[in-house]
Amino acid sequence: MSSVTSPTPQVSLGRRVKRFMSDQPLVPLIILLIALVIVLQILRPGIVNERWLANTVKFSIPLALLAGSQTMTMLTGGIDLSVSTVATMAAFIMASQAAAHGAPVAVLLALLPALLIGIANGIGAGVFRVHPLIMTLGTSLIGAGCLQVYQRTVIATGTRIPDLFTWLGTGVTWGIPNALALFIPVAALILFIQKRTGFGRLLYALGDNEKAARLSGAHYWQVILALYVFSSLLAGVAGLLYVGLIRAPSSLSLAEPLLLPSVAAAVVGGTSIFGGRGGYTGTIVGALILTVLTTLLTILQMPEGARRVLFGAIILLVTAVYLRITEDR
């Protein structure tokens, strides 16, 4: 590969930059993130301080976890639209069972619907080949309905968020958000699965060329089933953390507002919705970018409608530009 000192003059600077960006797709994302922070600092001098930083990280983490589900499923060309419902269910069930049974049992009970929905998604998409978009949308609606029914039956028991999750969600130790204690191991696990395991390799393989993966002996349904179960459990964990952060345990639409941003974070982070391309590191940066962007738009004190319009437009612009500078064809 030609370096900067290369004597070949016909390789233009733009082309060299493209090559570099294509090999290091994280660089433009990080540049964008830093640029956004600088803009924020200019618009509201002094806002970027230690507390702001901790808050940004805190609010990015649940989004990054849900976006982890999207990244994993998108690698195979799928998507998981049930993550917000799964997260909400986990949060609500945990909060409503914690009072009676204690935190550990409540957590297990909370992850049970996540497991079931994951299995249903996996069987639907992997065995019966329903498009994941439809499959996960369907299970999401079913889950939301079940949650409403469940809410009626437990209305008397009251809800309580175990201290552990409040500590995790909102606490800051020596300026570092406690949520990182959960997030760092989980993120490391996701990255390890993607980069260093046979399962991760198959995710990329299925997204790149399902036929080739099949001819190499991979069973599509096995991979997809395991994938959607993992995705759903991850969403459940994200819900438990999120309820500790938001502290609205009786809300039935707790994680709903995170659904589309979780898709956006993965896409902005460079994961292709067509499969085979991307990774979790980009998604984490993507989640940070979206969180900073939200802050930025909030302090501009625009009306809610205009803010949403701008948010959508910026996501489109960033994704389009990002693809242009990193695709080296």
Positions in the binding site for other proteins (CB under 8 A): 23, 192, 196-199, 201-202, 204-205, 208-209, 211-219, 222, 226, 276-277
Q: How far is the CB of 25 from other proteins (least distance, A)?
A: 12
Complex with other proteins: residue 152 or 211, whichever CB lies closer: 211
The pair of structure tokens assigned to 191 is 């990255």
Nearer to other proteins, 37 or 227 (CB): 227
Nearest to 176 by CA among 58, 61, 284, 289: 58
Residues found in the chain: 329
Our CB check for other proteins shows the closer of 208 and 256 to be 208
CB of 225 to other proteins, least distance (A): 11
- Count of beta carbons in the 10 Å neighbourhood of residue 99: 14
- Within 13 A of 96's CA, how many CA atoms are on the CB side? 20
CB of 208 to other proteins, least distance (A): 4
DSSP class of residue 301?
T
Given the complex with other proteins, which of 96 and 281 has the nearer CB atom?
Answer: 281
Name 173's bridge partners.
176
> From the CB of 202, what's the least distance to other proteins, in Å?
6
Q: Are 91 and 242 in contact (CB under 8 A)?
A: yes
| Nearest distance in Å: CB 133, other proteins | 21
**How far apart, in whole angstroms, are the C-alpha atoms of residue 146 and residue 143?**
5
> 19 or 44: whose CB is closer to other proteins?
19
